[in-house]
Structure 1
Amino acid sequence: MSSKKRHATVIGVPLDYGASKKGASGGPAAVRRANLVEGLEALDLEVTDAGDLPVPKVAVAAKGKLKNGAAILKVCQNLEKQAYEAVANGSVPITLGGDHSLAVGSVSGVARAFRDKGRKIGLIWVDAHADINTPDSSPTGNVHGMPLAHLLGMGHKDFARLGGFSPKIDPRNIVLVGIRDVDRAEAVNIRKSGIRVFSMQEIDRYGMGVVTEQAIDMASDGTAGFHLSFDIDVVDPGNAPGTGTVKRGGLTYRESHLLMELCADSERMVGLDLVEVNPLEDTQNATAVLASELIASAMGKNIY
């Protein structure tokens, strides 16, 4: 067995231009203050904190099909390069949001790094929402509701072609977990794409353990591993109030940790996003603390 330490690279993305409610830009700082790096180092991980990516200052758009698209694209382009470099150097990129629009950059960078090795990756998308609207189908124009569509090659071409190829992930290796709020157009896009969905109803029926194990199997089938993109709004607001789009009936504290623990046990996770932590909506930093704890679980923290 190799004694070489595992390496993780923490990348902060203080971006909230993709959401209607502002405040997720404070997420990376809040999660770091919740002892994120110290917790990871306690797992005998070698951790590089790459700091925060710069976010252009813009006059935030109130209207449009792709609100603040140019600024968000610039951030995603920079994140794509940084995530690519982390994987190329043998590290697992851990991206702290910031709103979920950033995942176009993080997932694209990880996918490109493995594509250069002749491999593909899977994607486990854990979220209360499907995030598979296009600019034409979105009722709001908010880009944080579009990243999965862009990763599948739908929507705006500049986002869809980020990193020079599209789609980033084979739909057969994409699994949505925990969704409970889907727009009508998104339901159509899900059916057309052929991606697998485990809604909250299926989690209630079959249990988090069974659902997670199946998600890992699907995302890992024929791939080098999977990227895990976790939106904190998938957790019930009783445990995670600090996010911009709360909806009752989400994952429990233990269900959330079990998902992360099983992903760690699989040893197949090659990248991680933890997004949509909004300190302005939080209660005594509870959501940021939970986010930090969940990242530790995903990176291998066990009870004993």
Structure 2
Amino acid sequence: MNMQTTIPSSPASGQTSVTLLGLPTDIGASRLGAAMGPDALRVAQLAPALQKLGVAVHDLGNLAGPANPRGERDAQGMRNLSEGLAWSRIAHDAVWQALQQKQLPILLGGDHTLAIGSISAVARHCRASGKRLRVLWLDAHSDCNTPANSPSGNLHGMPVASLCGLGPAALAALSGSTPAVPASAFCQVGLRSVDPSEKHMIRELGLEVYDMRAIDELGMREVMRRALAGLADPEGTDIHLHLSFDVDFLDPDIAPGTGTPVRGGPNYREAQLCMEMIADTGRLASLDIVELNPALDLHNQTAELVVDLVQSLFGQSILMRPGEDTLIQP
């Protein structure tokens, strides 16, 4: 009997080379442990899983930065701002360098504060290259707090507001332009824990949001169809799709290893469909994986699930897709 082996022609983004950037910090989170996220993903064999799909992987290891001082709120209502700014600059510079080298950067967090740095670098790259940026934000939380209205003062609740120019000035200006990203570039999927002040902020900014009620009513397929609409620009504009994937986007029944779990998130198949539809666009050009907390996990199962989902994001499929080659082996 002949055995068919499917060989992907390329990852979903059309690029064949990625750079893994470990940023081991929980500087912006309320619970310790996300600093171990990058190593948990490596233990779960992220690089070999991508290599099996024909992706060239360059792992730069874990980058160094300031320790977590577990500080109290400052006069502006924030915790660990100077350290968070330092880590955001590290993330910015690393992602910027990878993009300049025509690599697809995969930021391994670490808490979601790091997205301020990574997306600032992506925004700067898009301005320099004339590309249109689309940010897909998969998260249980909107992360639209500002220092004035944050209940906790934790920076990982402020990245969207900061990127839209409404957060701490130093963080908002990392890309060299304020705001770094227009609110119209964002699409948030999976929200189910939103502070009262954030509800007003979402309306003020005009963010495109599909909360869990929308997913319940429309189904994940329709939500993702809407979220990804327009990526095939009829005028030929080059589009850069950035995915910021917070592990707490997933239901904690399947992904317990995160510091801010919220019941009622997407299940396994919904999450897989989400990743598969992103892969189908062929537009993915940069990726954050954040808020994985191995200290709260069970036998690294959340990291292994994330690796499984990332494989789908880079083109792994049940059946052959158009453009894939098949080898017949005896």
TM-score interval (norm. to shorter): over 0.9
* C-alpha deviation, 1:224, in angstroms: 1.6
Q: Is 1:253–2:268 an aligned residue pair?
A: yes
- Equivalent-residue separation in structure 2 for 1:300 and 1:212 (angstroms): 16
The structure whose RCO (Cα within 8 Å, separation 6+) is larger is: 2
With the length of structure 2 as denominator, give the TM-score of the two structures: 0.88
- Equivalent-residue separation in structure 1 for 2:94 and 2:40 (angstroms): 21
In structure 2, which of residues 191, 204, 224 is the aligned counterpart of residue 192 of structure 1?
204
- Equivalent-residue separation in structure 1 for 2:110 and 2:214 (angstroms): 28
The question of whether the paired residues in 1 share the 8 Å contact of 2:73 and 2:79 is answered with yes
Aligned length: 303
In structure 1, which of residues 19, 28, 48 is the aligned counterpart of residue 29 of structure 2?
19
* C-alpha deviation, 1:170, in angstroms: 2.2
Quote the residue 2:277 is aligned against.
Answer: 262
Q: Taking structure 1 as reference, are residues 5 and 143 closer, same or farther at Cα in structure 2, changes over 3 Å only?
A: closer
Name the amino acid aligned to 1:89.
Q
What's the CA shift string for 1:180-212, capped at 9, x where partnerless?
000011011100101110000000111111111
Question: Larger helix proportion, structure 1 or 2?
Answer: 1
- Equivalent-residue separation in structure 1 for 2:154 and 2:35 (angstroms): 15
Identity of aligned residues (%): 42
Name the amino acid aligned to 1:52.
N
In structure 1, which of residues 142, 150, 154 is the aligned counterpart of residue 154 of structure 2?
142
Q: Secondary structure at the match of 1:121?
A: strand
In structure 1, which of residues 269, 273, 276 is the aligned counterpart of residue 291 of structure 2?
276
What's the CA shift string for 1:6-32, capped at 9, x where partnerless?
111111111101011110100110011
Q: Which has the larger radius of gyration?
A: 2
With the length of structure 1 as denominator, give the TM-score of the two structures: 0.96
* C-alpha deviation, 1:219, in angstroms: 6.6
Quote the residue 1:113 is aligned against.
Answer: 125
In structure 1, which of residues 70, 76, 83 is the aligned counterpart of residue 88 of structure 2?
76
RMSD between superposed Cα atoms in Å: 1.6
- Equivalent-residue separation in structure 2 for 1:210 and 1:298 (angstroms): 18
Q: What residue ranges of structure 1 are gaps of 5+ in the alignment?
A: none
Q: Secondary structure at the match of 1:100?
A: coil
* C-alpha deviation, 1:291, in angstroms: 1.3
* C-alpha deviation, 1:107, in angstroms: 0.8
Q: Secondary structure at the match of 2:311?
A: helix
Q: Secondary structure at the match of 2:93?
A: helix
In structure 1, which of residues 89, 92, 102 is the aligned counterpart of residue 101 of structure 2?
89
Q: Is 1:285–2:300 an aligned residue pair?
A: yes
- Equivalent-residue separation in structure 2 for 1:191 and 1:218 (angstroms): 22
Quote the residue 1:32 is aligned against.
Answer: 42
Deviating beyond 2 angstroms after TM superposition, the runs of 4 or more aligned structure 1 residues are 2-5, 218-223
- Equivalent-residue separation in structure 2 for 1:150 and 1:132 (angstroms): 8
